Structure 1
Amino acid sequence: MRKQYNIMTSCDNNLVPYVAVGLTAMAHNLKDADIDFFFLHSHVSRNNIEMLEALCEELENCKIHFHEILVPHAEVYSELAEYGTGWTGEAYYSLCAHLLLPDEIDRVLYLDAGDTLIVGDIAPYYHYDFQGKSLVVTGSRYKPYNGNLELFSADDLGDWKEGLPGILRGIFNSGSYMMNLDKMRKDERTLADYQYLSLKLRELFGDDNHNIYWGDQGLLSATFVGDVRYYGFPEIRNLWYMPYNFCLWYYDRMNEKPNYSPAILHFAGTAFKPWNGTYPIFTERFQKKEQLHSMNELKNGQAGYFYLWHEYAIMANTILDKIGF
């Protein structure tokens, strides 16, 4: 029986080339699957959209159905991003995925555009029981309580000293997460809800503070705290357990590979992004010579994942050359 997945990302023109690399890795590693891939944007060029569509048609091993979703009210998402750290409005488009995607789509895997890569079986994560929660996530923050690691609750939003700042930094990493679209529709969440939360946080911290929450993951964490399920919890209470959002900052503290096989890589917390590495083969489509870094800048253990990204970049480049993009 063929597996079926709904997968989503969002970005601007700058990251589109790296989405092509991600799609290539997806096709290579999710063999014999039917994938509905939803690409959310507000002003990506027609040429880039056609390039992604054509690539999906050429990719082998699985069937990727490309769906372009034009996001309205882009200025509102940009305003939300204005009080977050480091990301543009496109990173926030997932907030209303339940309103933007077709009603029959009940769940979707969100992936950061560009710096995430599917390299293994995602089925255990994709089909993980929501247990009535809105999100399934890779936990990145716990609350010490009675000698154990526990989850944050909505009550912790009232703890201005430790609870709220930690939540706004992110109780999970937003590189990869599952969204329970059916529940979000039943809860009747709207874009205005996120605007209201952002406004209240600005009233608390001041309109002149443009680092109130840590990008989309900070705003998502404040919105859904108490309404998320950590993958593997409570059996596993370990910040380093992240098979479906393997952040390469793992090697900031670890010298050995994890005791699990990462299925989704996230090139987060590294000295540079994978498209800025100096590889034996330079891929002009995805790289700029003036931005290249020495691989020696990477931590021990990281380089292998970068070379894997480069392999998929070469595959994508070959296909796109063949079809005239």
Structure 2
Amino acid sequence: MERSALVDTISLLTTLDQNYLPQLQVLLTSLSLNNPGESICLYLLHSGIPEQRLAAVYRQCQALGYAAVPLRVDDGLFAHAPTTRQYPKEMYYRLLAPLLLPDQVRRVLYLDPDTLVINPIRPLWERELNGNLFGAAAHTGKTELANSVNQLRLGTERDYYNSGVLLMDLEAGRREIRPQALFRYVEEHRKELLLPDQDMLNALYSQRILPLEDVLWNYDARNYSSYLLRSGGICNLQWVMEHTAILHFCGKAKPWKSKYAHRFGILYRHYIQLTKRAWDIDL
């Protein structure tokens, strides 16, 4: 995409169920405080969150000057999709976003709701994808062994990319991504899948991914020591607070739960307090 064709409004996408709505509100708080004056349109793909549960998100977006576009996904698209309790239909949503979002949306930045935005994201939004479908980061450091295991498991030669932050060329995706390809892959490999949506991304599209710097755009909040060591001491806490844009709280342990032990948990708790204070909600 030519730089001149990029629109001013940053289109964000998230997919979630109602249990993650509080975390979405914390993410929006962090986004607004660290990206003042940005024009944001939030697209929320879901399978049936009640309107009353979405009301708090609407109010927050309205107060921040953001557009909010919730889109309930038609179950008919998944009539022949392999789904189970372990593999719900929602796992397909982010990769099928080109087909689920309005045609006039040309690119979108997908964020998992368990992320914080702590610096400007416009440099990522304006990144040229150079003909790729996605921009994504592979987590470095402690996960390099897992990288090799995942390459062997999925039969790929490139790094194993994390699907929690994706810059997506929707126009290219509409030409190339087919639901049946995703459904067929899950049907043929369901016994091998560990993180189904992430495995599909890597197995089917790893050759169409522009690598992003994880330390800037998808920082694994568990791995501070690894980032520090690999950078020769450069990526310390001060560096992260000044340069990293997106912190991602990967894994089962989450910073809004008790006994979270990793370094950036206290920062997340700070944004919880800011969100509670501003919007009078229970988190």
Using the size of structure 1 for normalisation, the TM-score is: 0.71
CA spacing shift, 1:12–1:42, aligned 2, 3 Å: same
Contact 2:82 2:187 in 1 (8 A): no
Q: Which residue of 2 aligns with 1:223?
A: 204
Q: Which has the higher helix share?
A: 2
Q: Which residue of 1 aligns with 2:250?
A: 268
Once the two structures are TM-superposed, the CA of residue 135 in structure 1 deviates from its matched residue by 0.3
> Which letter maps to 2:109?
L
Fraction of identical pairs, as percent: 24
Once the two structures are TM-superposed, the CA of residue 252 in structure 1 deviates from its matched residue by 5.5
CA distance in 2, matches of 1:3, 1:321: 31
Selected match of 1:181 from 170, 173, 190 = 170
1:134 and 2:133 equivalent?
yes
Deviation above 3 Å: which 4+ runs of structure 1? 74-83, 86-89, 160-170, 252-257
Q: Which residue of 2 aligns with 1:245?
A: 218
Selected match of 1:24 from 13, 29, 45 = 29
Once the two structures are TM-superposed, the CA of residue 166 in structure 1 deviates from its matched residue by 6.2
Once the two structures are TM-superposed, the CA of residue 249 in structure 1 deviates from its matched residue by 2.5
> Which letter maps to 1:253?
S
Q: Which residue of 2 aligns with 1:66?
A: 68
Instruction: Provide the aligned length of Structure 1 versus Structure 2.
Output: 263
Once the two structures are TM-superposed, the CA of residue 26 in structure 1 deviates from its matched residue by 1.1
Q: Which residue of 1 aligns with 2:50?
A: 45
> Which letter maps to 1:171?
Y
> Which letter maps to 2:106?
D
> Which letter maps to 2:217?
Y
> Which letter maps to 2:265?
F
- The alignment partner of 1:243 has SS state of helix
Q: Which residue of 2 aligns with 1:283?
A: none
1:119-158 equivalent positions in 2, closer than 5 A: 119-140=118-139
Once the two structures are TM-superposed, the CA of residue 162 in structure 1 deviates from its matched residue by 5.3
CA distance in 1, matches of 2:71, 2:95: 14
Contact 2:151 2:159 in 1 (8 A): no
> Which letter maps to 2:28?
L
CA spacing shift, 1:77–1:220, aligned 2, 3 Å: farther
Q: Which residue of 1 aligns with 2:40?
A: 35
Q: Which residue of 2 aligns with 1:197?
A: 185
CA distance in 1, matches of 2:254, 2:156: 26
**Greater Cα radius of gyration, structure 1 or 2:** 1
Once the two structures are TM-superposed, the CA of residue 316 in structure 1 deviates from its matched residue by 1.8
Q: Which residue of 2 aligns with 1:171?
A: 160
CA distance in 1, matches of 2:224, 2:183: 36
Once the two structures are TM-superposed, the CA of residue 78 in structure 1 deviates from its matched residue by 11
Contact 1:10 1:41 in 2 (8 A): yes
Once the two structures are TM-superposed, the CA of residue 173 in structure 1 deviates from its matched residue by 0.8
Using the size of structure 2 for normalisation, the TM-score is: 0.80
CA spacing shift, 1:312–1:74, aligned 2, 3 Å: farther
Contact 1:248 1:267 in 2 (8 A): yes
Contact 1:170 1:217 in 2 (8 A): no
- Is the deviation greater in 32-41 or in 93-102? 93-102
